[in-house]
Amino acid sequence: MIWNSPAEFFAMGGYALYVWGSFGVCAIALAMEPILVRKRQNQILQSLRRERIADELENEVSEKAHARESGR
Amino acid sequence: MNAVLAVIRRDLLLAMRRKSEVLTALFFFVIVTSLFPLGIGPEPALLKKIAPGVLWVAALLATMLGLQRMFAADHADGTLEQMVLSPTPLGLLVGGKIAAHWMLSGLPLVLLAPVLGLQFDLDVGALGVLMLALLLGTPLLSLIGAIGAALTLGLRGGGVLLSLLVLPLYVPALIFGAGAVEAHIAGLGAGGHLSLLAALLALAAFFAPWATTAALRIALE
Amino acid sequence: MLSIHGLSCVRGERRLFAGLDFAVGPGEWLHVRGENGAGKTSLLRLLVGLMAPAEGEIRWNGENVRTLGEDYRRHLLFLGHHGAVKEELSALENLQLASQLDGDALADRSALAALHRFGLKGREELPVRFLSAGQKRRVLLARLVTKQAKLWILDEPFTALDVKAVDMLSALIGEHLADGGMAILTSHQAMPIPGGRELQL
Amino acid sequence: MNNKLIHWFKYASPQSFYPLAGKMIPWFWGLAAAFGVVGLWLSFFVAPTDAQQGEGYRIIFVHVPASWMSMFIYLVLAAWAGLGLALNTRLSGMMASALAPTGALMAFLALWTGAFWGKPMWGTWWVWDARITSELILFFLYLGFIALQAAIDDPRRADKAGAILALVGVVNVPIIYFSVKWWNTLHQGSSVSVGKSSMAVTMLWGMLFMALCFWMYSIAVALMRVRAIILEREAHTEWVKELNEVKS
């Protein structure tokens, strides 16, 4: 093991800002990207679901109208 | 071949009828290069050092000004469709358009550059190299620019988009073009830079009309 | 002879037409009709090769026009919505440059004759932007006289024309058909030219 | 042979690729995580302190993979774009558009970590070094690609126009690299020699594993994005309406 204590690990031999600045930004970026993509996917799925519900409602209405007419 | 000459002649004729467009780009070149000494200071040694870069960047931007109009007018009035339907291969006609664009935007810069170079205290040899570099480099700018102009044809925000697409591709021309003059001033000889510029020009002359043609067909569909 | 086999056209996500079959032989003409947005212009653009068909083939004398390329375009004259007329140039220059684009030089004599036929006498040297919309249209139509093409494909050739010009153009198409030419055109009005068939999109 | 070709074309249709990609994504996430854990362990706990650069050198464990991936993704993007242009398959264009944002992100990370590496090593955030400058221009090329596709409404035209731009770019990237390198040697003043110091073998292994992690990550994210793009473009089709995700 190279590090004697956690503090030494986080200090990175005096390069803490640079090392953690690089790794931190990479970690944030690589975590954010899939979240944003997932959001995009959910948005499109949601609009597709709404379209489907709208279609179903339309069908129901027309079926009811049809039933009323034939019942008469 | 007659058709290619006809394309060039028509574009030159049109430019003569609306001179302002050509002259605007030229004045832009003159003004931009004249602004630099005002911003940086009149020290001759410094000006001499930055002259090649300034002249080249200004030439780059001046060429950009006319790029968007390269195909836009022909697209709007249906001439482009007639060019696609002409029995002459579209690649050759596009080559004619590019040649005309160079004669209207590149060639005047080549001729004007030595005068502006004097403002920056360049000697006669350096002025010669500058002209030669621009002579090889400005057709390269027209060729690469044509691809961008065809890709952005008829798009919203086309002008800004065009510069975003084209300027990064201009980097080699800028480096070798300005580098030739710098190398000459430094006494290293401009031969290497100029031959690389010529090689790039040959490469672009071969590929750019083809890519432009493909992009135009896509834009017309 | 132009023949179309199972042609379909898709614009964006919409299918404009599908499975279109027809043929136009020498001396025949086809009147393409349909509502706005039915795909008339798209059909013409497919026929001249500005667009690629989604399905089907267009053949000229039995060969696919995609493989024929310039051998097909040489026989073709297409006049679209837009004028393809440059405002800054005169009628004469427009006509001559258009011919040169096709690879033939056009003598002053025949260019002037064509313009006179369309009633542009005295306006040959005027920049086109000083002409009226109908006169600009006539400059364009003068191409019909100067270009020797077997197949004419005209998109709304009668728009912006007065009665006299309409008659003149009808007569011109009639002559072209009598010479063994072919024509395909879109138009909203009925046309008194014999030998025609209608295609409803 | 012919059978195989048909097999591949089957997966080239968005309809059959959509569920396939869905099944592949977790695997690539798993691989990315596994390589990432090993890579981070190697880069922080196994790789020794560098004799010249101290602990600061550890930035290369993200910097090098990011710059490799930014270049590699551009090549893959151009390959998909060329394939789409040649074979007219719809999926190719979608793959190219799905890769572009990830490639741009990698180029950005390469520049960012490069700056954070440069500051302690060379005393400046930015150096006009051939590699860094080329990376910057690569970043611009990505932005141009994304902007061009965003400006075109018709997805088919966007695919084709993007493809031409990507191919032009791929021809240009090496030219740009060599021109910048040439320019850099002429201007001796700012040239920097990146330490050719004897790299420990464990450092190489760490870099390799981190690069594999980035690679798998890029595939996973690109597949996720291509699924979203497929849904957006095929929203009107029957098969999308019959998907389980949509029904529930």
Chain B interface disruption, residue of D149, D172, D173, D181, most B CBs within 10 A: D172
Residue D188 has pLDDT above 60, yes or no: no
Q: Which phi and psi (to 5°) does residue C199 adopt?
A: -125, 115
Chain D interface disruption, residue of A4, A23, A38, A59, most D CBs within 10 A: A23
* Distance from C-alpha of C138 to C-alpha of C114, rounded to nearest angstrom: 10
Cα R_g (chain C), whole angstroms: 17
Residues 5-64 of D with CB under 8 A from A: 44-45, 48-49, 54-56, 58-59, 62-63
The beta-carbon neighbor of D148 closest among B161, B167, B214 is: B161
Looking at residue D69, what is its pLDDT?
Answer: 94
Number of domains composing chain C: 1
Residue C130 lies in a domain: yes
Looking at residue D103, what is its pLDDT?
Answer: 96
* Distance from C-alpha of C77 to C-alpha of A10, rounded to nearest angstrom: 76
Average pLDDT estimate for B22-36: 90
Contact (CB, 8 A) for A14 and D202? no
Helix (H) or strand (E) holding C200: strand C196-200
Collect all residues of chain A within an 8 Å Cβ-Cβ radius of residue D113.
Answer: 22, 25-26
Collect all residues of chain D within an 8 Å Cβ-Cβ radius of residue B202.
Answer: none
Percent of chain C with pLDDT over 70: 99
What one-letter code names the amino acid at A57?
A: L
Looking at residue B56, what is its pLDDT?
Answer: 93
Helix (H) or strand (E) holding D163: helix D155-186
Ordered by start, the domain boundaries in chain A are 32-72
Whole-angstrom CA distances from D39 to A28, A31, C133 are 17, 17, 72
Looking at residue B66, what is its pLDDT?
Answer: 86
pLDDT tens-digit readout, D112-161: 998 988 888 888 888 887 788 889 999 999 999 999 999 998 888 899 99
Looking at the complex, report in whole angstroms how far the Cα of residue C115 sits from the nearest Cα belonging to chain B.
19
Looking at residue B98, what is its pLDDT?
Answer: 95
- DSSP letter, residue C18: E
In this prediction, does ipTM exceed 0.85? yes
pTM: 0.89
Pick the more confident residue, C11 or D71: D71
Ordered by start, the domain boundaries in chain D are 19-48+58-247
Percent of chain C with pLDDT over 90: 3
Pairing of strands C76-79, C151-155: parallel
Collect all residues of chain C within an 8 Å Cβ-Cβ radius of residue B213.
Answer: none
At which residue do the structure tokens 């290497």 appear?
B192
Looking at chain B, which runs of residues are DSSP E strands? none
Q: Please tell me if residue B53 touches chain D, with a CB cutoff of 8 Å.
A: no
Residue B189 has pLDDT above 90, yes or no: no
pLDDT tens-digit readout, B73-124: 899 888 899 899 888 889 999 999 999 999 999 999 999 999 998 888 888 9
Residue D26 has pLDDT above 60, yes or no: yes
Residue C144 lies in a domain: yes
pLDDT tens-digit readout, D175-186: 988 888 877 776
**For A16-20, B159-163, C167-171, D194-198, which range has the lowest pLDDT when averaged over its residues?**
D194-198
Residue C99 lies in a domain: yes
Residue among C40, C41, C42, C46 nearest C59 (CA): C46
Domain range enclosing C100: 86-148
By CA distance, what is D107's nearest residue in A?
A26
Q: Please tell me if residue B219 touches chain D, with a CB cutoff of 8 Å.
A: yes
pLDDT tens-digit readout, A15-39: 888 889 999 999 999 999 999 999 9
Q: Please tell me if residue A3 touches chain D, with a CB cutoff of 8 Å.
A: yes
Q: Please tell me if residue D157 touches chain B, with a CB cutoff of 8 Å.
A: yes
pLDDT band at D57 (very low <50, low <70, confident <90, very high): confident
C105/B88 CB distance under 8 A: no
Looking at the complex, report in whole angstroms how far the Cα of residue B221 sits from the nearest Cα belonging to chain D.
8
- Mean pLDDT of all residues in chain B? 91
Looking at residue D190, what is its pLDDT?
Answer: 39
Average pLDDT estimate for D180-193: 60
Residue D19 has pLDDT above 80, yes or no: yes
Looking at residue D196, what is its pLDDT?
Answer: 47
Token pair in block for residue B155: 């798009």
Looking at residue D1, what is its pLDDT?
Answer: 41
pLDDT tens-digit readout, C12-48: 667 888 888 888 888 888 988 888 888 888 899 889 8
* Distance from C-alpha of B167 to C-alpha of D137, rounded to nearest angstrom: 10
- Mean pLDDT of all residues in chain C? 85
In this complex, the chains that touch B, judged by 3 or more CB pairs closer than 8 A, are C, D
* Distance from C-alpha of B116 to C-alpha of D128, rounded to nearest angstrom: 28
Looking at residue D213, what is its pLDDT?
Answer: 96
By CA distance, what is D170's nearest residue in B?
B169
Residue C199 lies in a domain: no
pLDDT tens-digit readout, A41-71: 999 999 988 888 888 888 888 888 888 877 6
Whole-angstrom CA distances from B43 to B29, B55, B116, B119, C187 are 21, 17, 16, 12, 71
Chain C interface disruption, residue of B10, B69, B77, B97, most C CBs within 10 A: B10
Q: Which phi and psi (to 5°) does residue B6 adopt?
A: -65, -40
pLDDT band at D225 (very low <50, low <70, confident <90, very high): very high
Q: Which phi and psi (to 5°) does residue C30 adopt?
A: -120, 130
**Chains A and B lie in contact, requiring 3 or more CB pairs less than 8 Å apart:** no
Residue D29 has pLDDT above 50, yes or no: yes
Q: Please tell me if residue B221 touches chain D, with a CB cutoff of 8 Å.
A: yes
The beta-carbon neighbor of D54 closest among A9, A13, A37 is: A13
Looking at residue D177, what is its pLDDT?
Answer: 85
Token pair in block for residue D208: 């390799």
* Distance from C-alpha of C56 to C-alpha of C21, rounded to nearest angstrom: 9
* Distance from C-alpha of B84 to C-alpha of B81, rounded to nearest angstrom: 5
Residue C114 lies in a domain: yes
